């Protein structure tokens, strides 16, 4: 039997009893990074042969799994954290196992984006998990454009070094929406930080992030029927400072504050 086993995303105590049993009973464990998995196994005094299964060798790993499984070996598949396949290696393995008629099962467990959704307090009736954005700018923009009018909460995984770029690109394509960055999930320094895309994330850039962005508004404000200048002036008439009025107009129109500024200059 081949089992895909979810592992902790931060706190090692989050592993399930069933997952521990499966890892102890396995004849071999396929893992994303043997050094990372060894830390988890050592914490529970589990010693097993480890074989690599990462994004560069999935096909070879799948062929080895099939061979071992047909020899009667019990196999566990894990990633560095969370559920294999979800923003991690494993999807090609699943496809090859399915094509070969080789049965496999899944042991549920921690998932970073689900935890982040709860921590964010953003609407959760419907949401879309998008995961990591492509590396190329043109591909990032093309992907985000597909979800520009989606009304549900959008969820992304993001490495710390990509955070500033992600937020800037989202602001450019999706407009000035409410967002939430969640990091260090299940760890001591777990943190959620809410902000607007146009303003950027101001918190500490450390650890893996889950970014959540509110969906497109179903109905725009009636003020959107006015010109940009009239829209801003309407808010100022209510007592807002010009800067805050521009931010409010940008949110209503689902555009960036800089676009509002350019419109005012062009008028």
- Using CA of residue 139, residue 6, residue 215, residue 244, what is the dihedral sign? negative
Is the pLDDT at 34 greater than 90? The verdict is: yes
- Domain 113-213 classification at class level: alpha beta
pLDDT in tens, 230-244: 888 888 888 888 888
Rounded to the nearest 10 degrees, how much is the dihedral formed by the CA atoms of 54, 114, 109, 13?
Answer: 100
pLDDT in tens, 69-99: 999 999 999 999 999 999 999 999 999 999 9
Tell which CATH classification among 3.40.50.1820, 3.40.1010.10, 3.40.640.10, 3.30.365.10 matches the domain 2-110. 3.40.1010.10
| pLDDT, mean over the chain | 93
Per-domain residue ranges for the chain? 2-110, 113-213, 222-266
SS3 156: strand
Are 208 and 32 within 8 A, CB to CB?
no
Rounded to the nearest 10 degrees, how much is the dihedral formed by the CA atoms of 41, 47, 50, 53?
Answer: -30
pLDDT tier at 218 (50, 70, 90 boundaries)?
A: low
3-class SS string, 118-145: HHHCCCCCCEEECCCCCCCHHHHHHHHH
Question: Which pLDDT does position 221 carry in this prediction?
Answer: 62
First-to-final CA distance of the chain: 68
């Amino acid at each position: 039997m081949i089992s895909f086993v979810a592992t902790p995303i931060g706190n090692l105590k989050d592993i399930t009893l069933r997952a521990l049993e499966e890892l102890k009973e396995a004849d071999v464990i396929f893992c994303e990074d043997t050094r990372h998995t060894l830390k988890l196994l050592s914490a529970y005094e589990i010693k097993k042969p480890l074989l690599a299964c990462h994004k560069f060798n999935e096909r070879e790993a799948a062929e080895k799994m099939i061979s071992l499984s047909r020899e009667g070996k019990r196999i566990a598949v894990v990633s560095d954290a969370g559920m294999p396949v979800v923003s991690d290696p494993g999807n090609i393995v699943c496809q090859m196992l399915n094509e070969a008629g080789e049965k496999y099962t899944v042991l549920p467990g921690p998932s970073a984006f689900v935890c982040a959704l709860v921590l964010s307090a953003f609407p959760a009736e419907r949401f879309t998990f998008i995961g990591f954005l492509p590396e190329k700018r043109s591909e990032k923009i093309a992907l985000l454009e597909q979800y520009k009018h989606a009304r549900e909460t959008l969820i992304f995984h993001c490495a710390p070094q990509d955070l500033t770029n992600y937020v800037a690109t989202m602001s450019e394509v999706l407009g000035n929406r409410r967002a939430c960055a969640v990091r260090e999930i299940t760890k001591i320094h777990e943190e959620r930080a809410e902000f607007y895309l146009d303003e950027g994330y101001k918190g500490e850039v450390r650890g893996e992030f889950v970014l959540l962005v509110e969906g497109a508004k179903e109905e725009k404000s009636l003020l959107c029927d006015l010109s940009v200048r009239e829209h801003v002036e309407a808010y100022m008439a209510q007592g807002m400072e010009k800067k805050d009025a521009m931010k409010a107009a940008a949110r209503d129109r689902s555009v960036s504050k800089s676009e509002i500024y350019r419109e005012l200059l062009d008028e």
